[in-house]
Amino acid sequence: MADNVTFVVHKEWLDSIQGLPVEQQDKILAEIVRYGTDSGTVHDDDPVVNAFVNILKSRIDFSKNKYNQKIEMSKSAGRKKKVDDDEILRLAREGKTSSQIAEILGCSKSSIDHSDGWKMRNQKPVENPIESEEEDVAKYNGNFVF
């Protein structure tokens, strides 16, 4: 079963089954949800349930596909970053000014000043915990202090 599956249930579907017994309505709705979420079917023995769900399968598939297309399009929407924060951070730690970095990267000084890489330039780099642990072991000649 796929995660985060979305599909649309239309009010007219509920209106269509209104005259059926409640137990059959429940089965139909359950099968619609199972089909829409790729969970398989349970009520294969009921021809009314199967007929109703089969009629709606193409509509459910259409709504799922349309939703997935919107999700994919939204991933590429919006303004793209013009600067590489890692490169800015590297150059800043080499001692370059924001003006020099802007000239190197071909962008405005303001883009550099507002970047996460420039903001992180004065933060201490994260140490490798494994190297740090090896140094501690060497310091105490293998004796651990708690």
Per-residue pLDDT tens for 81-123? Answer: 778 999 999 999 999 999 999 999 999 999 999 999 999 998 8
Would you state the torsion angle of the CA atoms of residues 79, 80, 81, 82, taken in this order, to the nearest 10 degrees? -100
What is d(CA 141, CA 139) in angstroms, rounded to the nearest whole number? 6
Confidence check: pLDDT of 9 > 90: no
Place of tokens 């939703």: 67
Percent of the chain with pLDDT over 70: 82
What is d(CA 40, CA 89) in angstroms, rounded to the nearest whole number? 51
Spatial contact of 117 and 84, defined as CB atoms under 8 Å apart? yes
Confidence check: pLDDT of 139 > 90: no
Confidence check: pLDDT of 146 > 70: no
Q: From the centroid of its chain, how far is CA 72?
A: 11
42's CB contacts (< 8 A; 6+ apart) are 30, 31, 34
> 19-23, 37-41, 78-82, 110-114: lowest mean pLDDT where?
78-82
Spatial contact of 105 and 131, defined as CB atoms under 8 Å apart? no
In this prediction, residue 136 carries a pLDDT of 55
What is d(CA 27, CA 38) in angstroms, rounded to the nearest whole number? 16
Reduce the DSSP state of residue 89 to 3 states and report it. helix
Question: In the Cβ-directed half-sphere of 17, how many Cα atoms lie within 13 Å?
Answer: 24
Here the tokens at position 138 are 């060497």
